Structure 1
Amino acid sequence: MISEQTREVLTATLPAVEGALDDITPRFYDKMFTKHPELLNDLFNRTNQQIGTQPKVLAGSIAAFARLQLHPDPAQQRFIIDRIAHKHTSLGITADQYAIVHEHLFAAIVEVLGAAVTPEVAAAWDELYWEMANVLITKENELYSQAGVAPGEVWRSVVVAERRQVAPDAVSFSLAATDGAPLPSFTPGQYISVQVPLDDGAHQIRQYSLIGTTDEPVWRISVKLDGEVSTWLHERAFEGDTLTVSTPFGDLALPEGDAPLLLASAGIGCTPVIGLLSHLVSTGDQRPVQVLHADRSRARQPHRGELAALVEQLPNGSLHQWYEKGVDAGDGASIGMMDLEEVPVAPETVALLCGPAGFLGAIRGGLLDKDVPESRIHYETFGPELLRVGGRA
């Protein structure tokens, strides 16, 4: 808990700091990567750095956490901390790295705000930073312990047991332990990080959702051709090749109970949905499950047959699909963007959404319009997410 004095200083200075974050965060990353280039090459997503989305994510997280100290919302704070902590553990982040971030972040704040950063202001924001850092470190150590690994020791080598084309621009990989033993189980909806060695010497990391049932001896992921890591996997990862991957993490989980479920996805966002559906089928789940999926076209939809087959095995499952491009094939799919206006959704429904940020925002808004409470809407986003207080997409 931050002190009352710090709370007063934050109240007075948050608007100024918040207004300057778009200048502070790029300078912070520039300073940190100049001193620690290995972090850009081997830890951070350098594509998101180049296009400017990662600095916005950091800015949003700082502002959201600061606001939550002034106007506490335990559920929203838990959401932010859980989401960041799972991402950090999937990358092998350790407590000592928070000191590196602190050094360069505060140097950037002083550089941008200048004389406005009095000793009192600096002390207040320092206290806020370490409050957030310590909460994250505690949660991350808890996740490491639950996964049965030491902090940061998340990496293992696996072998590509099978490679399968599941769409013109998407490939599915089955990954097996190098010694032939079963890989550890995972929670439906979780993901793994995959680290690949690029030609310029960098080792870039991306996350991919696990599909299939949790008791399989292998892990399955699908990769859409989109970026330098996915290009490497499409062009260089074949049966018998070895990959470096992390322990499974991720906070998108099936809720307990018998409330109706709505699983909505777009594009390659179908992969966590397939993992969730596989578990529902294998456990004989009886609750109503609405599955909604949007894609560019039937021809480019990954796992189209598998998605339909899983829904068909659910005693109370239904599937509705939208295609941005194409013609009516008489199979009940709609042409155009996903639209919830004609979809009946009970207010007690628990919704799990998977896809890019724009899609998540639109579907979340549609669900809120149907009186589904914010607390019953959960999601997994592909790409950086911009956190904000009072909303999740």
Structure 2
Amino acid sequence: MTTEQKELIKATVPILREHGVALTTHFYSRMFTHNPELKNLFNMGNQGNGKQQLSLAMAVLAYAENIEDPSVLVSAVTKIGHKHMSLDIRPEHYAIVGKHLLASIGEVLGEGATPTLIEAWAVAYQQLADLMIGLEQNLYSDAVAKEGGWTGWRPFLVKQKVQESEEITSFYLYPADGGKVADFTPGQYISLRLFLPELNLLQPRQYSLSNAPNGDYYRISVKKEAGKAEHPNGMISNRLHNAVQEGDVVEVAPPAGDFVLDTTKQTPVVFVSGGVGQTPLMSMLEYLASTQSSRDIVWVHGSRNRKVHAFREPLTMLEAKIGKLNKHIFYDTLDEEMQVSGYYEGVVELDKLKEQALLQNADYYICGPAPFIQKQFTDLAAMGVSPEAIHYEEFGPANLVLS
């Protein structure tokens, strides 16, 4: 990429800041019109609520802002690569996306989209595409090299459905071929795909693995969400809860994700979750228990009430097994039975715990809705915790940028 081309890319930054979402909205509409088969790869719920358009706009802006040194985006690029691997995105898809992205730049910018600008963006896009394709090829190679590993979509049998709370149900998934499943790093997720007659589409969704690696099965724990045809959020979760039964077959992609427990450390860990956000943290906690870890552990969780709080009994069993687990539970309201040590009324407030949650050399793992993550990150930073020690996972398209 020439110096002149980089300058042209940087000159589009103000436009992307102001009109980036308009550009990406036009891009997706154009791509799905010309290549409707790609709707089977994308979460149409996130298309309907605008989250995917915003996420892509932020990614394009970040790339333009850092065109001189894209290496600073390695963390974001890695996260996207894991997501693409979990959706079976292949090199040929990049050619389709590139064609429609460049056409959209021309159509949205109009006369401002000079041939030299389009050429600069064509070079920039190919540079990024080559980077992503290489990264994803390594992820595919690693996935298939593991015992029980595979790439693409593999049929799994739902052997058990276990209700964990009024809202959350666990699904125990075993390979339909009777083989093993690949191990994973605690905190990772799988993509699960179902056919939705309402949309006449296959639809993938990502669900955190909520169990420790065992080689035999995966467990996902799914919250039932409200969904509407025009905004299909919750369609997959509702179908899992209401229609998918024990003995049914679903399609699953291999484990992916970079929000993972650092299993090489022996220093303390603090887990902070809201609602169904505890699922990847349960995987981490079960792993620590199964490996008889001696690490100091703090578990902080917030739920609306006891009825919707999943894994209460398993957590009590893990608490007894681990020994060095310090548990703190926040409910919106406490009934008389919960008026005991370790239970708090209101939303999760880490400053209420102070030294009980601030452990020396600890790593902090946060998962939950975006506002929840934002609050806990801000509170930890205010209490003197280094941002490098705070790890978080935002469900859905990544739109949070915390530092």
* Fold shared by both chains (TM-score > 0.5): yes
Whether contact under 8 Å (1:261, 1:350) holds in the other structure is yes
Q: How far, CA to CA, are the matches of 1:355 and 1:377 in structure 2?
A: 14
Give the percent of matched residue pairs that are identical in Structure 1 and Structure 2: 35
Q: 1:106 to 1:18 in 2, by over 3 A?
A: farther
164-173 or 367-376, larger mean C-alpha shift:
367-376
- Report the 3-state secondary structure (helix = DSSP H, G, I; strand = E; otherwise coil) of the residue aligned with 2:107: helix
Q: 1:60 to 1:122 in 2, by over 3 A?
A: same
Q: Once the two structures are superposed, what CA deviation does each residue of 1:248-267 show, in whole Å capped at 9, x if it has no partner?
A: 11112212222321111111
Could you state the TM-score of these two structures normalised by the residue count of structure 2? 0.90
**Deviation of the 1:383 alpha carbon:** 2.2
Q: Once the two structures are superposed, what CA deviation does each residue of 1:314-355 show, in whole Å capped at 9, x if it has no partner?
A: 242211111124436123211111112133314632111111
Is 1:340 aligned to 2:350, yes or no? yes
Is 1:307 aligned to 2:320, yes or no? no
Is 1:371 aligned to 2:394, yes or no? no
Q: What residue identity is the alignment partner of 1:318?
A: N
Matches within 5 A, 1:153-302: 153-200=151-198, 201-226=200-225, 227-255=234-262, 256-302=264-310
Q: How far, CA to CA, are the matches of 1:135 and 1:16 in structure 2?
A: 25
Q: How far, CA to CA, are the matches of 1:129 and 1:372 in structure 2?
A: 37
Is 1:352 aligned to 2:352, yes or no? no
- Report the 3-state secondary structure (helix = DSSP H, G, I; strand = E; otherwise coil) of the residue aligned with 1:172: strand
Q: Once the two structures are superposed, what CA deviation does each residue of 1:75-110 show, in whole Å capped at 9, x if it has no partner?
A: x51210111011110000001111111111121111
Q: 1:148 aligns with which of 144, 149, 155?
A: 144
Whether contact under 8 Å (1:354, 1:379) holds in the other structure is yes
Q: How far, CA to CA, are the matches of 1:312 and 1:327 in structure 2?
A: 24
- Report the 3-state secondary structure (helix = DSSP H, G, I; strand = E; otherwise coil) of the residue aligned with 2:351: coil
300-309 or 188-197, larger mean C-alpha shift:
300-309
Whether contact under 8 Å (1:20, 1:112) holds in the other structure is no
- In the other structure, the counterpart of 1:92 is 88
- Report the 3-state secondary structure (helix = DSSP H, G, I; strand = E; otherwise coil) of the residue aligned with 1:157: strand
- Report the 3-state secondary structure (helix = DSSP H, G, I; strand = E; otherwise coil) of the residue aligned with 2:352: coil
- Report the 3-state secondary structure (helix = DSSP H, G, I; strand = E; otherwise coil) of the residue aligned with 2:339: coil
Q: Which runs of 5+ in 2 are unaligned?
A: 226-233
Matches within 5 A, 1:45-194: 45-70=43-68, 72=69, 74=71, 76-148=72-144, 153-194=151-192
- In the other structure, the counterpart of 1:28 is 27
Q: Which runs of 5+ in 1 are unaligned?
A: none
Q: How far, CA to CA, are the matches of 1:313 and 1:287 in structure 2?
A: 13
Q: What residue identity is the alignment partner of 1:362?
A: K
Q: Once the two structures are superposed, what CA deviation does each residue of 1:210-234 show, in whole Å capped at 9, x if it has no partner?
A: 1222124111111111110011111
Q: What residue identity is the alignment partner of 1:300?
A: V
- Report the 3-state secondary structure (helix = DSSP H, G, I; strand = E; otherwise coil) of the residue aligned with 1:238: coil
Q: How far, CA to CA, are the matches of 2:248 and 2:371 in structure 1?
A: 35
Matches within 5 A, 1:9-28: 9-28=8-27
Whether contact under 8 Å (2:144, 2:151) holds in the other structure is no
**Deviation of the 1:113 alpha carbon:** 1.2
- Report the 3-state secondary structure (helix = DSSP H, G, I; strand = E; otherwise coil) of the residue aligned with 2:164: strand
- Report the 3-state secondary structure (helix = DSSP H, G, I; strand = E; otherwise coil) of the residue aligned with 1:148: helix
Whether contact under 8 Å (2:273, 2:367) holds in the other structure is yes
Could you state the TM-score of these two structures normalised by the residue count of structure 1? 0.93
- Report the 3-state secondary structure (helix = DSSP H, G, I; strand = E; otherwise coil) of the residue aligned with 2:59: helix
**Deviation of the 1:73 alpha carbon:** 7.7
Q: 1:126 to 1:372 in 2, by over 3 A?
A: farther
Q: 1:84 to 1:347 in 2, by over 3 A?
A: farther
298-307 or 188-197, larger mean C-alpha shift:
298-307
